[in-house]
Amino acid sequence: MKIHVVESMDLSDEQKARLNGLGEVKYFDGLPGVDEFLERAEGADILAVDWSPIDAAIPRMKHGVRLISLPFTGVGWVPLKEAASKGIKIANSPGYSTESVGEFGIGLMLALVRKIGLYSKSEPATDTAPCLYGKTIGILGAGRIGGYVGKVAETLGMKILFWRRGDDISNVLKKSDVVYCALPFSDETKGLLGEKEFSQMRHGSYFVTTSHNLIYDHHALLKALDKNLTGAAVDLEGIKVGDYKSEAYLRFKGHPKVLLTPHVAYKTDYALKRGRDMMIDNIEAFIKGEPINIVN
């Protein structure tokens, strides 16, 4: 079995040893563009991929590659049906960053509502900060991350409301002091939160998200901050990690009511190692004929 690690990955010696024991492995350096990715994929049965542009490359791929294994969860941007039509299975790493993203989201909420950032900068923050104890958090998404956030919020003494797809979202928006978006990105969730939804949130409430930034309308959120929302804490999933110059980042940058980070919620030593371990687990299971975490 020929396995190509098509880009630079910070794999440990142990992880490389696991891969090397599964077949003939070829390692490539750097992050390829689409054309170079296609060259690196040539002759491979299995690809290990992280940041390579598979969304643009898959439509141009020929038959031959049987599996693309990913060290992350979200695949809403990957052309899964087109991959399947070429005989390519896509395997992700579900739940690899649950704890990392969840704790970061809780941190954003605490920093925003308790005004930790303002105090740390010695900026005037004379108003009394709200206490989260006894407040209601409405969590959009009851999956791994949403469930984790709910458990932590409950230990803080907060009341928990979950919204699941198919429910009336306005019910949660109207009753929550904090709305936390933990939804995965998909065709179904894209653009879910617009002007109507943000306007339904309580006056004085907060919006916190570690989900993909295309799930919520940026301009609608900014408009709501001028009306009924007291603040928003946003980790911009959907941009490159640490991209302080992206269009989406610049849209929110400097707003006095926005606590902003550039897609770093998942980025911990624990999550990254776990994701790569799961990526290798997928490859190992596929070779054994017992595939796991296939999403197409």
Residue 96's pLDDT is what?
A: 97
d(CA 148, CA 171): 22
Lowest mean pLDDT, pick from 128-132, 146-150, 180-184: 128-132
Kindly state whether residues 75 and 155 are assigned to the same domain.
Answer: no
- Quick one: tokens of 208? 């916190």
CA distance 47 to 90: 10
- What domain range includes position 145? 98-261
Same domain, 84 and 225: no
Residue 64: inside a domain:
yes
Angle at the Cα of 134 (from 129 to 136), degrees rounded to 5?
A: 95
Q: What CATH number did the domain enclosing 43 receive?
A: 3.40.50.720
For 191-226, what is each residue's pLDDT tens digit? 999 999 999 999 999 999 999 999 999 999 999 999
Q: What pLDDT is stored for residue 200 in this prediction?
A: 98
For residues 239 and 205, state if they share a domain: yes
DSSP line for 167-208 = B-HHHHHHH-SEEEE-PPPSTTTTT-B-HHHHHTSPTTEEEE
116 vs 13: which has the higher pLDDT: 13
Give the pLDDT mean for 162-169.
Answer: 95
**pLDDT the model gives residue 176:** 98
Same domain (yes/no): 108, 227: yes
Q: Are residues 113 and 43 in the same domain?
A: no
DSSP 109-153: HHHHHTTHHHHHTT----SPPPP-TT-EEEEE--SHHHHHHHHHH
117 pLDDT above the threshold of 90: no
Residue 141 lies in a domain: yes
The answer as to whether 17 is a domain residue is yes
pLDDT digits (tens, 9 = 90+) for 27-72: 999 999 999 999 999 999 999 999 999 999 999 999 999 999 999 9
126, pLDDT greater than 90: no
The one-letter amino acid code at 81 reads K
| 219 and 253 together in one domain | yes
Q: Are 43 and 104 in a shared domain? A: no
Q: Per-residue pLDDT for 92 more than 90?
A: yes
- How many beta carbons lie within 10 A of that of residue 128, not counting itself? 7
Q: What CA–CA distance (Å, rounded) separates 131 from 109?
A: 11
Query: What pLDDT score does 116 carry?
Result: 87
In a domain, 135, yes or no: yes
* Mean predicted lDDT score pLDDT of the chain: 96
Structure confidence at residue 125 (pLDDT): 60
Q: Using 50, 70 and 90 to split pLDDT, how confident is the model at 118? A: confident
Q: Tokens 């350096």 label which residue?
A: 29
Kindly state whether residue 292 falls inside one of the protein's structural domains: no
> Residue 128: pLDDT band by 50, 70, 90 thresholds?
confident
Letter string b/e over residues 195-206, b meaning 16 or more CB atoms within 10 A of that residue's CB: eebbebbbeebb
pTM above 0.85, yes or no: yes
Number of domains in the chain: 2
Alpha-carbon distances of 280 from 5, 48, 166, rounded to whole Å: 11, 8, 35
Is there a domain that residue 48 lies in? Answer: yes
pLDDT at 127 over 90: no
Phi, psi values for residue 247, rounded to 5°: -60, -40
DSSP state of 255: -
pLDDT of residue 136 exceeding 80, the answer is: yes
In a domain, 296, yes or no: no
Both 87 and 137 in one domain: the answer is no
Same domain, 47 and 139: no
**Among 224, 250, 243, 285, which Cα is nearest to 92's?**
285
In a domain? residue 293: no
38 in the same domain as 81: yes
6 and 51 in a single domain? The answer is: yes
Tens digits of residue pLDDT in 1-18: 999 999 999 999 999 999
Give per-residue pLDDT as tens, 245-259: 999 999 999 999 999
Q: CA-CA distance, 38 to 56, in Å (whole number)?
A: 10
Distance, C-alpha 282 to centroid of its chain: 20
Whether residues 82 and 200 share a domain: the answer is no
